[in-house]
Amino acid sequence: MSFQEYLKFLTRLFVQYVETPKTERKMKKAPRESWSARWFGAIPMSIKLLWRK
């Protein structure tokens, strides 16, 4: 990838970012899952469900 292609790519991303409304940019962020699910997957969730019952 040449420098000009990279510069065009960055420019396109920047223009796309600037053209999107501010409210839409903020809505894209999804809530993070808990640290246990992120690090260990579904096993802690299943243990937690068993513990509650």
pTM: 0.46
pLDDT at 49: 84
Q: Which residues contact 25 (CB under 8 A, 6 or more apart)?
A: 17
Q: What is the pLDDT of residues 1-53, one digit of tens each?
A: 799 999 999 999 999 989 988 887 777 667 777 776 677 777 877 888 888 86
pLDDT at 38: 74
Helix, strand, coil shares of the chain, percent, nearest 5, are 75, 0, 25
DSSP secondary structure of 20-33: S-HHHHHHTPPPPP
Residues 31 and 46: their CA atoms lie apart, in Å, by 20
Residue 12, classed as helix, strand or coil, is helix
